[in-house]
Structures are given as C-alpha cells and as structure tokens.
Amino acid sequence: MISGIENTNAASMGGTMPLSRSQSDELRESFLLLLTTQLQNQDPLNPLENAEMTSQIAQINTVSGIEQLNETLQMITGQIDANQALQASALVGKGVLVAGDRVLLEQDEDGVAYTTPFGIELQAPAENVCVTITGADGAVISQFDTGPVEAGVTSFRWDGLNTEGDVAASGAYTVSLEAVDADEEVITGESLQYAEVLGVTPQDENGQVSLDLGAIYGQMGLDAIRQIL
C-alpha cells in the first residue's frame, strides 16, 4: 500500500494523469484501514515507531494535497481561458496586422483610392525600407522608400498610385519590403498584412482562443497578431 502511495505521488509530481477524487478517497480509506490494522496487530515488543507512522501519514497527506492543487490549477486555468476570450472579444471589428504580403485597393466612383495598411516587423532599426507593390502578373505597380524605421512593428500605407502617378485599378496586390542599415546591409524583417477581426472562437481544437479573420485569412491565434490598428 505504501509503495502504491509513493508511486502515485511520484506520478502526480511528474506531470502524468492526476488521481480522480474517487481514486484518492479509496486510497485514503485503504491507507487508514491498513494503518489501523497494523497498529492493532503490532508486536508489543517491537511497536511501530513514531517516525515510521508519521512518514506514512505524511505520504497520504501529500497525495491529498496534490489532488487539491490539481483542482485549484484547473479552476485557475478555466478562469484564464475565460478572461482571454473576453479580452479577445474586444478585437471584433478592429483591424490588425498579421504575417502576410497582401494589400487591397478599392477605387470609389470619384476615382479616389482606398488601400489597406501593411507593415514590417524588424529585428533591428533600419536606415531605410524599400517598398515594392506588384500586380498579379508580377509587374511593378509602385515603388517608394519609407526612410528610417525603428526596430519592432511599423505600419505603412500605399497611396494607391502607380509609377506614373495614376490611381491603380481596384484589386489585390503583393507588397515586398527590403530593409537596410546605414551600411546598406539587409536587415531581417517580416512583412505584415491587414485583416479585420470578424469574430472570436473561445477555444479551438488545441484549447486556445482563436480569431476569425474572414474567408481569406481564416482562423488565427492571438499570438499571430503583430499590431492592432
């Protein structure tokens, strides 16, 4: 019995499946029955030492403590998940930047262009970032420099004009960014695209909160958000 208690204690501390309440209750009842029987039938000339009995009682109490700790951790985890979902719901209707290279342009009836923002995430400050907008056929539609950019996430917006100064046609375009330092050395960076949060899924198949970014971008976790616009 004591060996079983020790093995259960080690398994619980090692991160394997914890005891259920019924298993823990059965284990405590069996332990108390064993201890009572042991005390009733001990050799009067060689009684159970206090230290040994104390050690056995401490082991069963440890198992009970681990069970209570598991229940507390499960309750805390549930509260964290609920709070995370509640916080994520505040993003519904907002624009965010996620990894990607798309920029959308829409031209209204008056010929005014509206474009979605884009961005870059840099590992180090850049002296300049060269932005190139290309069409579906790979042809360069527009190209411009941003000037100095700090490390981290920075967003930009294309004015919607092509290389000739005319408003480009409505549609989806590809944006590529090249960041360089003062010595013209390329700096590692990730291009970012715009998406709108349409909804929040409290828990996906992995137990994580995910955001609905529409049919094009699908479901993404909160960790995919680089910037909230």
Is 95-228 in CATH node 2.60.40.4070?
yes
Tell me: the pLDDT tens digits for 71-128? 776 776 656 666 666 677 888 889 999 999 999 999 988 889 999 999 999 999 999 9
CA–CA gap between residue 174 and residue 118 (Å, rounded): 10
Tell me: the pLDDT tens digits for 71-83? 776 776 656 666 6
Q: Residue ranges of the domains in the chain?
A: 2-89, 95-228
Predicted pLDDT of residue 127 = 96
> Does the predicted TM-score (pTM) go above 0.85?
no
pLDDT exceeds cutoff 80 at 4: no
Please give the backbone phi and psi of residue 216, each rounded to the nearest 5 degrees, phi first.
-75, -45
CA 143 to mean position of chain CA atoms: 35
Among residues of the chain, what percentage have pLDDT more than 70?
A: 65
Q: How far is CA 86 from CA 33, 82, 83, 101, 201, in A?
A: 48, 6, 5, 30, 10
Two structure tokens written together for 126: 């850049």
Least confident of 94-108, 113-127, 149-163, 214-228: 214-228
pLDDT exceeds cutoff 50 at 137: yes
Predicted pLDDT of residue 218 = 85
Place of tokens 């907002």: 94
CA–CA gap between residue 158 and residue 105 (Å, rounded): 9
Contacts of residue 97, defined as CB under 8 A and 6 or more positions apart, other chains included, come to 117, 118, 119, 153, 155, 192, 193, 194, 195, 225, 226, 227, 229
